[in-house]
Amino acid sequence: MKLEKYQIEEHNHAHRSTHQQRIDYVRSWVSNSDHIIEKLIEFQIAIPSWALGTGGTRFGRFAGAGEPRSLEEKIEDIGLLHSLNKSSGAVSLHIPWDIPKNPKAIKALAAQLDIKFDAVNSNTFQDQKGQQHSYKFGSLQHVDKTTRDQAIEHNLEVIHYGKELGSSSITVWLSDGSSFPGQLNFRKAFENTLDGLQKIYGALPDDWKMFVEYKAFEPNFYSMTVGDWGQSLLYASKLGPKAYTLVDLGHHLPNANIEQIVSLLLMEGKLGGFHFNDSKYGDDDLTVGSINPYQLFLIFNELVEGMDARHMNHATGLGWMIDASHNVKDPLEDLLQSVEAIMIAYAQALLIDQKALEYARQKNDVALAQEILQVAYRTDVRPLVAEARLRSGAALQPLELFRTLKVREHLIKERGTQTVATGL
Amino acid sequence: MKLEKYQIEEHNHAHRSTHQQRIDYVRSWVSNSDHIIEKLIEFQIAIPSWALGTGGTRFGRFAGAGEPRSLEEKIEDIGLLHSLNKSSGAVSLHIPWDIPKNPKAIKALAAQLDIKFDAVNSNTFQDQKGQQHSYKFGSLQHVDKTTRDQAIEHNLEVIHYGKELGSSSITVWLSDGSSFPGQLNFRKAFENTLDGLQKIYGALPDDWKMFVEYKAFEPNFYSMTVGDWGQSLLYASKLGPKAYTLVDLGHHLPNANIEQIVSLLLMEGKLGGFHFNDSKYGDDDLTVGSINPYQLFLIFNELVEGMDARHMNHATGLGWMIDASHNVKDPLEDLLQSVEAIMIAYAQALLIDQKALEYARQKNDVALAQEILQVAYRTDVRPLVAEARLRSGAALQPLELFRTLKVREHLIKERGTQTVATGL
Amino acid sequence: MKLEKYQIEEHNHAHRSTHQQRIDYVRSWVSNSDHIIEKLIEFQIAIPSWALGTGGTRFGRFAGAGEPRSLEEKIEDIGLLHSLNKSSGAVSLHIPWDIPKNPKAIKALAAQLDIKFDAVNSNTFQDQKGQQHSYKFGSLQHVDKTTRDQAIEHNLEVIHYGKELGSSSITVWLSDGSSFPGQLNFRKAFENTLDGLQKIYGALPDDWKMFVEYKAFEPNFYSMTVGDWGQSLLYASKLGPKAYTLVDLGHHLPNANIEQIVSLLLMEGKLGGFHFNDSKYGDDDLTVGSINPYQLFLIFNELVEGMDARHMNHATGLGWMIDASHNVKDPLEDLLQSVEAIMIAYAQALLIDQKALEYARQKNDVALAQEILQVAYRTDVRPLVAEARLRSGAALQPLELFRTLKVREHLIKERGTQTVATGL
Amino acid sequence: MKLEKYQIEEHNHAHRSTHQQRIDYVRSWVSNSDHIIEKLIEFQIAIPSWALGTGGTRFGRFAGAGEPRSLEEKIEDIGLLHSLNKSSGAVSLHIPWDIPKNPKAIKALAAQLDIKFDAVNSNTFQDQKGQQHSYKFGSLQHVDKTTRDQAIEHNLEVIHYGKELGSSSITVWLSDGSSFPGQLNFRKAFENTLDGLQKIYGALPDDWKMFVEYKAFEPNFYSMTVGDWGQSLLYASKLGPKAYTLVDLGHHLPNANIEQIVSLLLMEGKLGGFHFNDSKYGDDDLTVGSINPYQLFLIFNELVEGMDARHMNHATGLGWMIDASHNVKDPLEDLLQSVEAIMIAYAQALLIDQKALEYARQKNDVALAQEILQVAYRTDVRPLVAEARLRSGAALQPLELFRTLKVREHLIKERGTQTVATGL
């Protein structure tokens, strides 16, 4: 299924006057609204290929219907999202779930839908059919060199596929770790992992980045070999200038101050990118902004301030990606809600009067500093986000249009109800 | 495979003199050692049928080999454990994974292996093939009466199977809850759930107990409809005298004081039983005592003191069950380690000088109270546990014998390497 | 210092036209805006007497200046707040810090400032000069009857003072618990505490309520004798119809779902009131809404829905109180920010389309349910809150006026810089 | 008060035969018992001067009696501890609480009692009388250079005192951070702090070490400027070879894997030392080993393995110090219990068969690896620890002797009941 331009236009026409009133109101209060709208238009969030199907937990999976059955259909799904919001113009592929059989055709399809190829992802947390060595006890950390080599080889293969498609970064998330005290020599696990990462790093094309993702726990329940930002930074520093830390919002211990981590990684020039989602307990992989939107805003505050301080381009300076699992919602609807939440947080952060904030800090005026943040946060920026969509040819109300056009029903008709997309 | 008596005896004979030295030493220091040994002999821990196969996480499952392919083989596995330690003389079945096709034959097999039928478990957290209504949005909490009725019906069926086998309790664990703010009206979810539980309760035979298990999170990641001991107690109190709270050690928020919960539930006469395991982050389902054995000891301190205060029989007063997931260990070895850890904690708790402890408390002598607990905890009680096994015809060193006899290798020969036991 | 009516009027006059534009805009989108404004006008939040001075931590206290030196000056401070926002028309006193020497005069002063007397608070977590028995090892839980009796007696005295002033509820927060395993018999501690509470309950005037506050940890670091909502509800249920649970937002284990607790306590008719604040790690006592305003909104969603379902008056059905500690902000500014955050969350909750939400729930339309909540939450309701203030004679921008009028500077002139208010 | 040699000898004589039986038994099972005993004899744990008085919480402080009133009396208290266990032969001083008026006399007194001077501690988390600039908004992070300079100056002064007494390390714990979002620019706070640390580092004598202590939260409740091991390592790496990370067991987020942190810091050559204590919720500062002794054992496992791998001397390679707060116990008794718990954990770790463990790891034999750890942990090593004391002239049962000799009563007689030691 593909959305036609006229469908967007009809929808926007119907909402035009209401929207106009709203955006006029916001513009009358916000001095830099055009600047913000331009920034919003540029900002693109990659959709991970595995988030297009219904996810599950270890207790079960309640499949959806009309889910993509192939890489082509996954890209078509992202095309649908992108035509609705013009903010989802990239895909993050997962190997081996998404091995392109015909890279040229895939590239052409993506180009046609205005979809870029963001970071490719390797998978050494599952065993694949016919795989010689098992990752039951880890991959790059493994005590056996043959298993480590196999994992390295797989990553090289992922880079190969990425190059074919035009990607320029690889995300390495390792589930390596241990579930019991005694299982692992932490130091040797670190050293093995570093050695493997160095070999993968060595194979990186010059213009590529490597993102080293960390996670506090799960699927290992005692230790993780890339367990926190400190460890990830240690790897990235030892690897070299093309290696960076990737922050997944759900990969922390309870109560962690993620925004401070973001600020310090930026300071070190070692922040590579983001996996957006939300969570209450662990790596819950919920819709972005559904649990703690203020935290998301605070993170964007650090991003805006920190990237500006380093003269980084907001849109291209870091890798922006959603990583969520849609267990009880329609995956496409969930992704629309996630993108909306990100754009809102970004817009609010752009609203912050950074000069005034700096002044308040210089005066140790804590109440005023809070006030400045909250004035931005409490502002209803939805009209700005909608205006950015309007200007880039997307829908004023993407979720509403998705439902009005009965997109899922069409996809079910095309693909059937028994589809199960690859992924978790 | 079945262990022969002579195999145990040969093993014990080989370890006899060493053991004798150890137990003599302990007996010379511990005045009530015979009392403790008797208590240990009586104490039986039920093995859940789903813990006999390799578990997994949502990220993957690394299957083991030689796992039980049927209910019969599961009971045989527990028979093996029980012949090794004589402390695992019960099974906790899970419906529909373990529907007995021929109850009489199953009962005969179990009797022959000295295995009793502990609590039966219902499953409304997964959809079964051919099931009319999905539990995607809950079971007893569901907004649709037809789905609720189906879940009630399933529980009645579980009671039916339990009666056939001679069980006398049902554990109801509901994964019901919500993953997003707004998804659920908490009050109505509670009321629906209570209504369903009442209907199940109404079908309980007179001598049965119903265990209402609580869990803080997972698989729902925003709220759980039986989320903590307070909620479980509320249900159990409204249900009536046959309803009790079941405590699973991994089902709490970080830092929860589980031993206090145990004490208060005993005080209220509403503690029904236990799911033993250990964890560091969430419901990690690790081997009992592998992460925080002192906490396990403190829980047993409350159990011993609290059950004695209510004149409850330690062995039969509560339901004792392991609930773990063996992702990186041989399931049978893991269970042997779990049972050992439980027996050690229980023995240590029996060593506590409760009178002296009470005296210290009366004096607010906190240092002394700690000293009394730690004197018991620091004592090496393994000889007492081994002696209990010796006296009941089990092996002095169960895990060692399991390995010496190459039990798993035999099971693989019998069952093959491609087996996958039902369970998580 | 007292604010004069003309000062408010001048301020409002200066902001009038801007405000008019904003409120007109909101009113054009929000159909029930007058209903919301009325509700906001009625809603009053009690200020605790101990929050008017600078707080501290165990590591130190950095005093402010111009803090109230007497009960009279505390009430004057609340009078200042109330004249600024007309939402702080009550005080919650703490005995013995606020023993009224001349109750009549105090009552007259409060009446003049339109301040009511909300719940009185007892203190058995500190030893007072000349006190016979120490609370080092607890108060109502204490192993010695004489200490328990002393604590009971103190609570009766607090009720006495409360009656004199026109209060009609007492908040009992017990720091009782233990810091080490073994220190306490949990059951006996519970029973002693229950016995003490019963005696205090017995002395309650007919129209009084008793609020039993719970707390997960601190100042005791192993167990708390009223440690969670389950325990508090157990006490309150055993005590009788005048006993209720009080929820302090910072008194939970990490990741607790407070909104669900609120809903269930309302269901049971046992929610008594609130201590508002915010926190990231523990009982951090930060400004309301400064860390997780969405959680506050979700709590108000439960309050509005649950109170309406029980036909409770929002303003008077529960006790509303701030409990915070102002370590790095001016206490009065902090309180203005806290009240504002509460009013905003309440207004957003009143905006929720409860019928549509119920419909979405009936359809298990999780995405829609989230959308409905977030439409309300993302709306800028500050004009509604300001309009409520305008109509009740308060300032459109209380914090701004506080600063423009240099209130703190005046207070310092009156009271000096070396003042230290009683409290934590 | 001073213990006489004969008092120790009488005590040991009375316990001699019992001890002999126990140590003989252990020696018959433990092959390297003499090696372990020697290691235990060498191992010394510094006592912080502030732990000799009763601590408190922000809610109150329940003073003890007979507490040291001067630096001399503090050193005498440590002398008492050291004569009882011969494992407490060092003191860690805190400036300004322990400024030595007569350094020579203090050194002589310490030498006489066989007490060394371990790390000196600076204090920029409180304001001292007469101090020009307040630390209310931080010290080294402060936006004002004058305040930062004052904090640097104070640290230089601390080094000065340390040199006078013969110390060779300084522990810098900064309470710097923020309590509210917006209050701080994290990057600038880091840079200011780094700049200050560099200036202090520049003044370090050649043979000194600087310990950079981290803490997750408290007294700041939103962010800490040295908040985790990653940040501490970043500072230490930028500072140079004399700068190290100091690990305080209570300074982590919930569920943190401290043993892994220890292993990685050792790997990096950047672990400097320890603050021992135990906790359940936060920085509870409870007696070492009172909450989770298995974790302590696991940490010592990493220390033994990791220090051996780097050929570090166990006793002198790192700084070993207790940091606890004794709110409900006699401080000296508490310290005796803490030292005992440390020695037990160290002895158990020395018992681990590292070769067998490494073999199990090479085989991915997780059950065996756990078994190897637990065999060591479950061994009753108290006789080894007692034997080490016996050989070094200390008491077999220090706590018992402390009580038998009525040490506290004597101290009260000497010092009175109204003493309040400096500290928290």
| Per-residue pLDDT tens over the stretch B148-193 | 999 999 999 999 999 999 999 999 999 999 999 999 999 999 999 9
Q: Which two tokens stand for residue A423?
A: 């992924």
Task: Residue count of chain C, please give it.
Answer: 424
Query: Helices (H), strands (E): how many in chain C?
Result: 15, 13
Q: What residues in B contact A176, CB-CB < 8 Å? A: none
* 8 A C-beta contact, residue B204 and residue B242: yes
Half-sphere exposure of D31 (CA within 13 A, CB side): 2
Q: At what angle do helices B186-202 and C258-267 cross, to 10 degrees?
A: 60
B369:C183 CB<8 A = yes
Judged by DSSP in three states, B419 sits in: coil
A-to-B residue pairs, Cβ atoms closer than 8 angstroms: 105
Nearest to C255 among A254, A333, A382 (CB): A254
Residue A313 neighbours by CB under 8 Å, 6+ apart: A307
**Paired strand residues for B273:** B246, B319
3-state secondary structure chain A: CCCCHHHHHHHHHHHHHHHHHHHHHHHHHCCCHHHHHHHHHHCCCEEEHHHHCECCECCECCCCCCCCCCHHHHHHHHHHHHHHHCCCCEEECECCCCCCCCHHHHHHHHHHCCCEECCEECCCCCCCCCCCCCCCCCCCCCCCHHHHHHHHHHHHHHHHHHHHHCCCEEEEECCCEECCCCCCCHHHHHHHHHHHHHHHHHCCCCCCEEEEECCCCCCCCCEECCCCHHHHHHHHHHHCCCEEEEEECCCCCCCCCHHHHHHHHHHCCCEEEEEECECCCCCCCECCCCCCHHHHHHHHHHHHHHHHHCCCCCCCCCEEEECCCECCCCHHHHHHHHHHHHHHHHHHHHHCCHHHHHHHHHCCCHHHHHHHHHHHHHCCCHHHHHHHHHHCCCCCCHHHHHHHCCHHHHHHHHHCCCCCCCCC
Q: How far apart are CA D219 and CA D124, in angstroms?
A: 12
**Mean of per-residue pLDDT scores for chain D:** 97
Q: Which two tokens stand for residue B231?
A: 């909620």
C180:D286 CB<8 A = yes
| Per-residue pLDDT tens over the stretch D342-396 | 999 999 999 999 999 999 999 999 999 999 999 999 999 999 999 999 999 999 9
- Among D125, C382, C347, D370, smallest CA distance to A380 is for C382
Reported as type and span, the H/E element at residue C392 is none
Q: What residues in B contact A183, CB-CB < 8 Å? A: 328
Q: Å from C311 to nearest chain A CA? A: 29
Q: Which domains does chain C have, with CATH numbers?
A: 5-415 (3.20.20.150)
DSSP string, C249-268: TT-S-TT--HHHHHHHHHHT
A-to-D residue pairs, Cβ atoms closer than 8 angstroms: 140
Nearest to A369 among D183, D223, D233 (CB): D183
Task: Residue count of chain B, please give it.
Answer: 424
pTM exceeds 0.80, yes or no: yes
Q: For testing the chain A interface, which of B50, B62, B179, B213 should be mutated: the one with the most A CBs within 10 Å? A: B179
Q: Å from D127 to nearest chain C CA? A: 8
Judged by DSSP in three states, D63 sits in: coil
B59 exposed, middle or buried (CB, 10 Å; 0-12, 13-18, 19+)? Answer: middle
DSSP string, C352-376: S-HHHHHHHHHTT-HHHHHHHHHHH
| Per-residue pLDDT tens over the stretch D122-138 | 999 999 999 999 999 99
A136:B183 CB<8 A = no
Q: Chain D residues within 8 A (CB-CB) of chain C?
A: 55-60, 62, 125-127, 134-137, 175, 179-181, 183, 216-219, 221-222, 254, 279-282, 284-287, 290-291, 327-329, 424
Q: How far apart are CA B337 and CA D374, in angstroms?
A: 10
Q: For testing the chain A interface, which of C17, C366, C377 should be mutated: the one with the most A CBs within 10 Å? A: C366
* 8 A C-beta contact, residue D369 and residue A180: yes
Residue keyed to tokens 């400027």: D225
Q: What residues in A contact B96, CB-CB < 8 Å? A: none
Q: Chain A residues within 8 A (CB-CB) of chain C?
A: 21, 25, 28, 254-255, 257, 280-281, 287, 289-295, 328-330, 333-334, 337, 344, 364, 366-367, 370-371, 374, 377-380, 382, 399
Distances (CA, A) of A119 to A210, A322, D237: 9, 12, 31
| Per-residue pLDDT tens over the stretch B295-319 | 999 999 999 999 999 999 999 999 9
Which chains reach chain A with 3 or more Cβ–Cβ distances below 8 angstroms? B, C, D
Q: How far apart are CA B54 and CA D235, in angstroms?
A: 44
* 8 A C-beta contact, residue D65 and residue D80: no
Judged by DSSP in three states, C224 sits in: strand
Low-confidence ranges of chain C (pLDDT < 50): none
Query: What residue of D is the nearest CA neighbor of C63?
Result: D136
Q: What is the DSSP letter of B399?
A: H
Phi, psi of A310 (to 5 degrees): -100, 10
C366:A292 CB<8 A = no
Q: How far apart are CA B142 and CA B193, in angstroms?
A: 8
A219:B327 CB<8 A = yes
Beta strands at A271-276 and A319-322: parallel, antiparallel or unpaired:
parallel
- Among B209, B214, B95, B192, smallest CA distance to B148 is for B192
pLDDT averages per 10-residue partition of chain A, 424 residues: 95 98 96 96 97 92 92 97 98 95 96 97 95 97 98 98 97 98 98 98 98 98 98 98 98 98 98 98 97 98 98 98 95 98 98 98 98 98 98 98 98 88 65
- pLDDT bracket for residue D422 (50, 70, 90): low
Reported as type and span, the H/E element at residue B245 is strand B243-248
Task: Residue count of chain D, please give it.
Answer: 424
Q: Å from C286 to nearest chain D CA? A: 8
C260:B182 CB<8 A = no
Distances (CA, A) of C122 to A370, C214, D359: 33, 14, 61
Q: For testing the chain D interface, which of A361, A370, A372 should be mutated: the one with the most D CBs within 10 Å? A: A361
Q: How far apart are CA C263 and CA C43, in angstroms?
A: 20
- pLDDT bracket for residue B225 (50, 70, 90): very high
Which ipTM score applies to this complex?
0.97
D282:C281 CB<8 A = yes
C370:A25 CB<8 A = no
Q: What residues in D contact A293, CB-CB < 8 Å? A: none
Q: How far apart are CA C335 and CA D85, in angstroms?
A: 53
Q: What residues in B contact D371, CB-CB < 8 Å? A: 337, 399
Nearest to B186 among C190, C264, C358 (CB): C264
Distances (CA, A) of B50 to A121, A378, B57, B249: 33, 50, 14, 17
| Mean pLDDT of the region D258-280 | 98
C329:A287 CB<8 A = no
Q: What residues in D contact A309, CB-CB < 8 Å? A: 187
How many Cβ atoms from other residues are within 10 Å of residue C240's Cβ?
12
Q: How far apart are CA D275 and CA C35, in angstroms?
A: 58
Phi, psi of B209 (to 5 degrees): -120, 150
**Where would I find the beta strands (DSSP E) of D90-138?**
90-92, 116-117, 120-121
Half-sphere exposure of D234 (CA within 13 A, CB side): 27
Q: How far apart are CA B326 and CA B51, in angstroms?
A: 7
- pLDDT bracket for residue B326 (50, 70, 90): confident
D309:A187 CB<8 A = yes
C264:B298 CB<8 A = no
Beta strands at D223-224 and D177-178: parallel, antiparallel or unpaired:
antiparallel
Q: How far apart are CA C394 and CA C87, in angstroms?
A: 9
Q: What residues in D contact C222, CB-CB < 8 Å? A: 280, 286, 291
C219:D58 CB<8 A = yes
Nearest to B264 among C186, C216, C253 (CB): C186
Q: How far apart are CA C354 and CA C362, in angstroms?
A: 12
Q: How far apart are CA D398 and CA D86, in angstroms?
A: 10
pLDDT at A422: 65
Does position B422 have pLDDT exceeding 80, yes or no? no
Task: Residue count of chain A, please give it.
Answer: 424
Q: For testing the chain B interface, which of D342, D370, D401 should be mutated: the one with the most B CBs within 10 Å? A: D370
Q: What is the DSSP letter of B270?
A: -
Q: What residues in B contact C214, CB-CB < 8 Å? A: none
* 8 A C-beta contact, residue A278 and residue A292: yes
C60:D254 CB<8 A = no
- pLDDT bracket for residue B423 (50, 70, 90): low
Q: What residues in D contact B380, CB-CB < 8 Å? A: 378-380
Residue keyed to tokens 């959709």: A47
Judged by DSSP in three states, D83 sits in: helix
What does the buried/exposed string (b/e) look like for A230-260 if buried means 16 or more CB atoms within 10 Å of the residue's CB? bbbbbbbeebeebbbbbbbbbbbbbbbbbbb
A57:B280 CB<8 A = no
Q: How far apart are CA C381 and CA C386, in angstroms?
A: 9
Q: How far apart are CA C271 and CA C264, in angstroms?
A: 9
